[in-house]
Amino acid sequence: MPEPNLKLPKDQKTLWNAKHVQYSSARWVEVPTIFAQQALPYFPPAGTLLEIGAGHGQDSLFFARQGYKVICTDFSQTALHAARERAAAKGLTNITFRAVDLSAPISFAANSADIVYSHLALHYFDENRTLQLFGELLNTLRPNGLLAILLNTIDDPEVSTLRRISTDLYETPEGFLKRYFSQESLRRFVL
């Protein structure tokens, strides 16, 4: 099924900012994700780590505490503000914050990151933007750099509750586009 050229809902930032206000009182925003903890042993011992779609920044702060120079990004100013406050409270100076809207081309220098890391932030886009985004992220990596990403899988039971737009792309009840990757589709985006 061909994929239409779709745009994200105009109010997506409003919806995510509201979610981040709700998340701010959750305990999980204070601790690194399981994915971050499991990925860390595969990382080089030092370097620059670019986190895409960091939300409240719990993983960015975790990596900064491990000694990485971290660039923490999100398009929600609410989330970035919370992450910035937590980093300041912990005295972390090896972390910077940047508002980045992934629906538009990103502008990080080529070969500028040793690690590009993302925890469930790369699946909200149509096929064309997803292809562009992965190309931009891979271009950001230094030679032998590491792309560490956690994505939704097409085998997720949630898929059966969503409206199918095209192959691997669905619409959530809030009106978000959400891509569920298979091994085959992931290869199409990263190889």
**Residue 134 structure tokens:** 């992965």
Could you list the residue range(s) of the whole structural domain that residue 186 is in? 12-18+35-190
* Residue 45 Cα to chain centre, angstroms: 22
Q: Is residue 107 part of a domain?
A: yes
Q: Is residue 177 part of a domain?
A: yes
Query: At 184, phi and psi to the nearest 5?
Result: -65, -45
Alpha-carbon distance of 164 to 176, in angstroms, equals: 12
Looking up residue 185, the CATH number of its domain turns out to be: 3.40.50.150
Average pLDDT in the 15-25 region?
A: 63
Q: Please say if the pLDDT value at position 62 is more than 80.
A: yes
The pTM is what?
0.88
- Coil, strand, or helix at residue 166? strand
Mean pLDDT taken over the chain: 89
Average pLDDT in the 53-82 region?
A: 94
What's the pLDDT tens digit per position in 105-125? 998 999 999 999 999 999 988
Average pLDDT in the 12-18 region?
A: 65
What pLDDT, on the 0 to 100 scale, is given for residue 2?
Answer: 46
Q: Please say if the pLDDT value at position 8 is more than 50.
A: no
Alpha-carbon distance of 10 to 48, in angstroms, equals: 33
Residues in the chain: 191
Tokens 């925003």, residue located: 29
**Residue 158 structure tokens:** 């949630």
What pLDDT, on the 0 to 100 scale, is given for residue 137?
Answer: 97
